[in-house]
């Protein structure tokens, strides 16, 4: 704990040195593949490249910029991770979730985590925005936090209910986290459906676990960018993921704004 405290102090020092002050944060946002444009909407924007912040990794994947962006959205102080770190990039799970400790130290009380996911539930279609109702950790990698055997808090029910009342056609589902980076086989997807998964992706669960541990109220949103392997005849591609997230971005931005205003 002592070690992480001094690491957080160093990261805050870097942020302060880069923008000249230490920003206050109410809501943290982690934006998934192709969804990073939300950061363009914020007012009084100041941005710090990850490579200027000690302790932060550097994203290597197309569709993930590497900036920590501060400013106002829906009159709230936000901190956006424009681009995230993945386990499949060869990162350690504790380094992937590290920025959450920094957000918490800056005052964050709420976290919105978004991702691109493959639809397993046959009633989903590409372009759907799905609230993460529960998770399955099929990567079997947990961030090393001391829960003293407490259960993980995956969501804030009241926050979700308030959003539900304002945003039409919101679907809900269970997200299964796999390590990737290869997409799944059709048999894996059939097995995941039997396990109770509605969508599959390669992120989010480590961040949600740590956010819950830090006492942040969590909202997870999956953007269904493709139907998972074996459901449709054409093969999956990362380009398809980026293309669908591009098409759905206006609806996505609207949902994020509703979520922030309902914090």
Residues in the site for ligand HPA, rule: CB under 6 A? 116-118, 183-184, 200-202, 225-226, 228, 236, 241
* Catalytically annotated residue among 38, 39, 103, 116: 116
Output helix, strand, coil percentages for the chain, rounded to the nearest 5.
Answer: 35, 25, 40
Active site includes 149? no
- Least distance from C-beta 214 to ligand HPA, angstroms? 25
Measured distance between the N- and C-terminal CA atoms of the chain, rounded to whole angstroms: 29
256 vs 258: CA distance, rounded Å: 5
CB of 118 to ligand HPA, least distance (A): 2
101 catalytic? Reply is: no
Residue whose tokens read 């936090």:
145
State yes or no: is 116 an active-site residue: yes
11 counts as catalytic: no
Collect all residues with Cβ–Cβ distance below 8 Å to 52 and sequence separation of at least 6: 14, 18
Active site residue 91: no
Closer CB to ligand HPA, 118 or 220, in the complex: 118
Please, what is the minimum distance in Å from the beta carbon of residue 95 to ligand HPA? 20
Backbone region of residue 90 per phi and psi (left: phi > 0; alpha: psi in -120 to 50; beta: other values): left
Q: Which of 11, 33, 110, 245 is catalytic?
A: 33
Query: Phi first, then psi: what are they for 102, rounded to 5°?
Result: -70, -45
- Report how far Cα 108 is from the mean position of its chain's Cα atoms: 15
CA distance 41 to 64: 17
Q: Is 245 a catalytic residue?
A: no
**Which CB sits closer to ligand HPA, 71 or 118?**
118
Catalytic residue among 41, 88, 243, 261: 88
Closer residue to ligand HPA, CB minimum distance, 49 or 230: 230
Exactly one of 11, 110, 115, 226 is catalytic; which is it?
226
Q: Which is nearer to ligand HPA, 53 or 176 (CB)?
A: 176
Please identify which of the residues 86, 103, 175, 213 carries the catalytic annotation.
86
What is the Cα–Cα distance from 165 to 41, expressed in whole angstroms?
A: 24
Distance CA 235, CA 237 (A): 7
CA dist., res. 126 & res. 142, Å (int): 29
CB of 142 to ligand HPA, least distance (A): 19
Known catalytic membership, residue 18: no
Catalytic, 238? Answer: yes
Q: At what angle do helices 249-261 and 157-166 cross, to 10 degrees?
A: 120
Shortest separation between residue 112's beta carbon and ligand HPA, angstroms: 18
Which CB, 102 or 228, lies closer to ligand HPA?
Answer: 228
Catalytic position from the list 77, 91, 203, 245:
203
Closest approach of Cβ 38 to ligand HPA, in Å? 18
To the query of whether residue 123 is one of the catalytic residues in this protein, the response is no
Residues annotated as part of the active site: 33, 64, 86, 88-89, 116, 202-203, 226, 238
């Amino acid at each position: 704990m002592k070690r992480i405290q001094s690491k957080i102090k160093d990261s805050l020092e870097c942020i302060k040195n880069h923008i000249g002050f230490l920003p206050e944060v109410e809501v943290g946002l982690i934006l998934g593949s192709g969804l990073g444009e939300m950061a363009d909407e914020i007012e009084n924007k100041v941005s710090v490249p990850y490579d200027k912040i000690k302790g932060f990794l550097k994203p290597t994947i197309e569709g993930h910029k590497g900036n920590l962006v501060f400013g106002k959205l829906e009159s709230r102080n936000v901190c956006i991770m424009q681009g995230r770190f993945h386990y499949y990039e060869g990162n350690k799970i504790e380094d992937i979730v590290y920025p959450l400790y920094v957000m918490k130290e800056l005052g964050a009380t709420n976290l919105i985590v978004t991702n691109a996911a493959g639809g397993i539930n046959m009633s989903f279609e590409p372009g759907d925005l799905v609230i993460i109702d529960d998770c399955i950790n099929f990567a079997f990698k947990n961030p090393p936090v001391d829960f003293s055997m407490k259960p993980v808090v995956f969501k804030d029910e009241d926050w979700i209910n308030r959003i539900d009342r304002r945003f039409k056609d919101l679907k809900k589902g269970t997200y299964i986290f796999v390590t990737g980076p290869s997409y799944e086989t059709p048999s894996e997807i059939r097995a995941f459906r039997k396990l109770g998964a509605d969508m599959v992706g390669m992120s989010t669960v480590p961040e949600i676990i740590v956010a819950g541990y830090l006492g942040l109220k969590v909202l997870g949103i999956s953007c269904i960018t493709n139907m998972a392997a074996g459901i449709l005849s054409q093969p999956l591609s990362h380009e398809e993921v980026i293309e669908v997230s591009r098409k759905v971005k206006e609806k996505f931005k609207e949902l994020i704004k509703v979520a922030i205003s309902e914090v």
